[in-house]
Structure 1
Amino acid sequence: MPPTFSSAKTRTALRASARVSLDLLLILGMATVTLWLLGLMWSVVWPLVIGLLLTTLTWPPTRFLRRHGWPPAAAASAVTVVFLLVATGVVALIAVPVASQSGELTDGVMEGIHRVRDWAAGPPLNIGDDQITQASDAAISRLQDSAGSMVTTVVTAVNTVVNGLVTAVLALFLMFFFLKDGPRFLPWLTRQLPGRLATDIPVVAARGWETLGVFVRSQALVGLLDAVFIGLGLWILGVPLVLPLAVLTFVSAFVPIVGALFAGFVAVLIAMVSNGLTDALIVLAIIVVVQQLEGNVLQPMIQSRGLGLHAAVVLLVVTLGGSLAGIVGSLLAVPVAALFAVVWNYLREQLSDPPQEPRTDERPAGATAPS
């Protein structure tokens, strides 16, 4: 006989599905409103995020000083000053050698341009001087016609630089205050929250802080591996400015996608103007191999092991973050996903039933009752 369907069970299933769908819509609506509010407050949220990431990087030495009797303000001040000195030293380590060899690099660039021009004049392109002159005149006239848009672009670039400097200064001050007063935050938060929230939110915040620290340390390890491998390849090929290029590779590893592209472009350019086109192609191949190994193997493995996320999840969230918010989305995708995992694991712990302990009056089968 064909099975018969119960109308009561069907209505119950439909009501349950409707209730779950409504709950999901409410959650999505709340998430949309939260993201919209974050967008409105982004000028404050972005320095706060950078300050937190810098604090996770500088908290271990601050904790060491505080455990050895330093006052909180003195320890935070000392670590902040050392951080500024290290950052300034990194910039100097990149800028000074480049400036000292700027003349050689300029001559190499001009020589490279002449080589490209001579190559284009021969077969198979056979581009003559008249065609090159016409192309140059067309490019100059196009630049003159788009002078207004160029001015707008320059103004936008200046505003971006100014906003970046303001963000860096705010993040630095926030890092100092986090280092100084960070340990007092969770007790203060516990006193402000009512009831069960006074226990749950501080626990989640502490776990989230540990997760951010793991993310920053894993990103630094990935950048160090990139700098070592790429710097070793440049040193074997005899490319100049190996140390500045390695430092630039390490620093740019903290900015996904664009940082790697920028560091790779600089390395290939210097290899081309100093060693020629063949070595530049070899450097390009080394950078591509290292970046593919880092992006598809090392980074997902290191971050998935430290953050408790699967390697495939890391790849997917980085892709999703880049498609939604560009560079910033790629930078924040992994820590945000890790924080969501922290919240979900805590909720699962609180909602799951505690393990049942065996009853003391149970006796194994076949045992005799006491007399």
Structure 2
Amino acid sequence: MSRFEQIRGSLRRAYETGRASVRSARVKSHDSRQVPDGTLRYSAPSEPPTAAGGGEPPHEVHPSTSSRDDADVPHGLRIAAAWCWRLIVIGIVGWAMLKVIGTVRIVVIPLLIAMLLSALLAPAVGWLLRARFPRSLATAVVLIGGLAAVVGTLTLVVNEFIAGVPQLSEKSTAGIRQIQDWLKTGPLHLSDGQLNQYIDAGEQWIQTHTSSVTSGAFSTAATVFEVLTGTVLVLFATFFFLRDGQKIWRFLVGLLPLKARWRVDDAGRASWRTLVAYVRATVLVAFIDAVGIGLVLVVFDVPFAFPLAALVFLGAFIPIVGATLSGAVAVLVALVDSGWVTALIILGAVVAVQQVEGHILQPLIMGRAVAIHPLAVIVAIASGVVLAGITGALISVPLVAVVNTAVRRLARRRSPEPPPDAVVVGTEPPQLPI
């Protein structure tokens, strides 16, 4: 037999073996549908299976449900319940986070203040770095210069306040006498006995609440150590944020899963730019407010013009509320020193400055990068005051701005573009040129 005939016979046997296997598979499939008496079992696929005992067929279970009970609950109620338990979980987690932050607030609040200071001083450090200063030296120079400016300003404010207190005290006494005369000769026509009665009631209230005032003073003295500790922590944290901020951020991002790193890094950098823009704009707006109100105080020869301008500058860091309170102090000083005419003029100047700030400076300087609805600002300030007092009011608005930017970035469907120097590793091997 030739080799060709051998190959032909092998192919023939392989073909017959394949046909035999297919035939046996068909026979097994046919036999599996037969009952012992040889008849075929048949069930229409379109008919739903009936329950045992001839009852009604079971209701169809929706793919989004896991049991018959879930299918009986209306769809809208199931959606509302799903939202509710998820919101409850988020609320519990948020409450736990607030409790933890409240426990370690002596550390958290200085770190947040250091973040604000770092956002304010970062441009100056960048200028020195571009001038080929070493990073540590540039950070130290900027930090020491900022401390010197703050200490110098506080020294001027305290000196002017100490020099003007005696004169203001005399004018305050004269103003109180004028108020007493007005109460006697004005429309109220109060008698000396009634005035003495009200004064005695005030003194009695003070004596009754002396214990609470004293305890508050002792508690304030007890927090001196916390204030000093927080100040030292703010200085150290600001220095290291300015010097090693990039390294710290890269380390934190590196702890996340690989797929989430680029999105979190993009959101974090956008939030940092928002914080820097907010701090810059707030400082500029506060400076304009302080200069405007300070010039009015100088023109009308109101005492403590420089301290009041500094107070307006600091108050402008708390949007809406801070400017109102600092302006009220300036009006009160003008009322005590120069009378109600000057006080009304100062009040008009304060209102005009606030209107310019709210309708021109804020939209123009802040821009859309840090635009927050006024209702959100009020709610954030109120929540900050309840949770952390004055410090909470100071950091609440920038915190809301940063969180707003981060959430918007993370919620985007489009993935952020990879850095130009990133090495992208593909899942398919590269094609070799032919």
Would the TM-score normalized by the shorter structure come out above 0.5? yes
Distance 1:299 1:161, change over 3 A: farther
Report the Cα distance in structure 1 between the residues aligned to 2:224 and 2:411, rounded to whole angstroms.
Answer: 44
Partner of 1:363: none
Report the Cα distance in structure 2 between the residues aligned to 1:269 and 1:353, rounded to whole angstroms.
Answer: 53
Question: Is 1:76 aligned to residue 135 of structure 2?
Answer: no
Partner of 2:122: 59
Letter in 2 for 1:39: G
Name whichever structure is richer in helix by fraction. Answer: 1
Q: How many residue pairs get matched? A: 345
Deviation at 1:148, TM superposition (A): 1.6
Q: 2:213 aligns with which of 138, 141, 150?
A: 150
Between Structure 1 and Structure 2, whose CA radius of gyration is higher?
2
Partner of 1:307: 369
Deviation at 1:52, TM superposition (A): 0.2
Partner deviation per Cα, 1:247-270 (whole Å, 9 max, x = no partner): 221122113466435422432233
Q: Secondary structure at the match of 1:111?
A: helix
Q: 1:320 aligns with which of 379, 386, 397?
A: 379
Matches within 5 A, 1:254-269: 254-256=317-319, 259-269=322-332
Partner of 1:233: 296
Distance 1:16 1:240, change over 3 A: closer
Deviation at 1:145, TM superposition (A): 2.9
Report the Cα distance in structure 2 between the residues aligned to 1:17 and 1:122, rounded to whole angstroms.
Answer: 67
Matches within 5 A, 1:1-371: 13-14=75-76, 19-159=82-222, 162-256=225-319, 259-291=322-354, 293-294=356-357, 296-298=358-360, 301-302=363-364, 305-309=367-371, 313-326=372-385, 327-350=390-413
C-alpha contact 1:314 1:334 (8 A) present in aligned 2 = no
Distance 1:353 1:176, change over 3 A: closer
Partner deviation per Cα, 1:265-309 (whole Å, 9 max, x = no partner): 432233123322221232133324433553x43565257624353
Q: Mark the runs of 5 or more structure 1 residues left unpaired by the alignment.
A: 1-5, 355-371
C-alpha contact 1:218 1:306 (8 A) present in aligned 2 = no
C-alpha contact 2:277 2:366 (8 A) present in aligned 1 = no
Partner deviation per Cα, 1:47-66 (whole Å, 9 max, x = no partner): 11000001111111111112
Letter in 1 for 2:120: L
Give the TM-score, by structure 1 length: 0.80
Percent identity between the two aligned chains: 31
Bigger shift: residues 70-79 or 148-157: 148-157
Distance 1:28 1:351, change over 3 A: farther
Q: Secondary structure at the match of 1:196?
A: helix
* Structural RMSD (CA): 3.1
C-alpha contact 1:50 1:171 (8 A) present in aligned 2 = yes
Partner of 2:51: none
Letter in 2 for 1:220: V
Report the Cα distance in structure 2 between the residues aligned to 1:316 and 1:189, rounded to whole angstroms.
Answer: 33
Bigger shift: residues 168-177 or 188-197: 188-197
Partner deviation per Cα, 1:46-89 (whole Å, 9 max, x = no partner): 11100000111111111111222222221111111111110011
Bigger shift: residues 169-178 or 135-144: 135-144
Letter in 2 for 1:231: G
Deviation at 1:16, TM superposition (A): 5.5
Letter in 2 for 1:149: S
Q: Secondary structure at the match of 1:349?
A: coil
Q: Mark the runs of 5 or more structure 2 residues left unpaired by the alignment.
A: 1-59, 65-70, 418-434
Distance 1:351 1:25, change over 3 A: farther
C-alpha contact 1:94 1:248 (8 A) present in aligned 2 = no
Partner of 1:358: none
Deviation at 1:213, TM superposition (A): 0.6
C-alpha contact 1:220 1:254 (8 A) present in aligned 2 = yes
Deviation at 1:230, TM superposition (A): 1.5
Distance 1:341 1:321, change over 3 A: closer
